Amino acid sequence: MINWYDLPAYYDVSFSYEMSDELAFLKNVFKKYSNSSQPKLLEPACGTGRLMIPLIREGFDCSGFDLNRNALLYLEEKLNRNQLHANVFYDDMINFTTHRKYDGIYCTVDTFRHLLTEKEARQHLLGVSKALKKNGIYVLGLHLLSKEKKIDRLTRWTARRGRLTIKTIMSMIKLDKNKRRETLEVELKIKAKERNNSYTSVYQLRTYTLFQLMKILKSLPELEIISVYDEYYDLSNPIMLDSGSDYAVLLLRKK
């Protein structure tokens, strides 16, 4: 079995599918809440830099780190090829160290849920708080276990780049609400010019109900929630979180 993060050229195509609203949202948030002419941004677990590269092109000063060396190599090659600059390093979301302070930090698409224990998640949030300037913003996007909406156990999409077509099939194969673990299986079906291939990857994410998310955030009063959005990433349309919420994007401000 393969870890799909070890296949950055495929991950990047698959996860870049329909990301324009997410990207526009990040750009607008950091322009709105920073008074710097070139805001400094950090992406913990940046992967292939699918978001970082366009943010650099928008004029942000970007840094990012990940634990996956294949993804970092892919990102560095892409930066070099495009003559772009970013501060990319190997580190862990749980206990990362930075010598800089950032105007903004972002972590969307459930990446935070890779932290499987409360201790790890809290340590990450403490690290974020330390790395933010006063009034800096952390954008955190994750799925909650909704009490009202039926859980989507299967999501599939098809992304294309050049001659590459990737069908991604993501299925929740196990949900243990007591242990707060969701087991996901991702199948990538690759159609390339010379060959077709398929890879399957299985991994776990920590689950959050609204109550569990609020509990951990309340334990870090230096990060205050200033607004929340849903999966449409519409900055003009903040929402109220309730027990029916599923994908939530929180703006947390460092006091």
Ligand X SMILES: C[S@@+](CC[C@H](N)C(=O)[O-])C[C@H]1O[C@@H](n2cnc3c(N)ncnc32)[C@H](O)[C@@H]1O
Site for ligand X, rule CB under 6 A: 5, 15, 43, 45-47, 50-51, 66-68, 71, 92-94, 108-109, 111, 114
What is each CA distance from 234 to 34, 187, 220, 227, 249, in whole angstroms?
Answer: 19, 30, 26, 12, 10
114 versus 206: smaller Cβ distance to ligand X:
114
- Contact call for residues 40 and 102 (beta carbons, < 8 A): yes
Q: Least distance from C-beta 242 to ligand X, angstroms?
A: 26
Four-CA torsion 224, 227, 230, 232, nearest 10 degrees: -130
CA 66 to chain centre: 11
The token pair at 251 is 């703006």
Strand partners, 251: 139, 227
With respect to ligand X, which residue has the nearer C-beta, 121 or 145? 121
Residue number with the smallest Cβ distance to ligand X: 47
- Residue (20 or 135) nearer to ligand X, CB: 20
Let me know the angle formed at the C-alpha of 251 by 246 and 252, rounded to the nearest 5 degrees: 120
* Smallest gap from residue 210 Cβ to ligand X (A): 22
**Distance in angstroms (rounded) separating the CA atoms of residues 95 and 127:** 7
User: Of the two residues 45 and 139, which places its CB atom closer to ligand X in the complex?
Assistant: 45
In the three-class reduction of DSSP (H, G, I as helix; E, B as strand; rest coil), residue 13 is classed as helix
Toward ligand X, which CB reaches closer, 90 or 211? 90
Nearer to ligand X, 61 or 66 (CB): 66
Contact 197, 2 (CB under 8 A): no
Closest residue by Cα to residue 44 from 120, 119, 118: 120
Nearer to ligand X (CB atom), residue 145 or residue 170:
170
Rg (CA), the chain: 18
Residue that has been written with the tokens 């919420």 in this structure: 245
User: Least Å distance between CB 93 and ligand X?
Assistant: 4
| Widest pairwise Cα distance in the chain | 54
Taking the complex as a whole, the smallest distance from the CB of residue 96 to ligand X amounts, in Å, to 7
**Cβ 75 to ligand X shortest distance, Å:** 10
What is the closest distance, in whole angstroms, from the C-beta atom of residue 2 to ligand X in the complex?
13
**Cβ 134 to ligand X, closest distance in Å?**
25
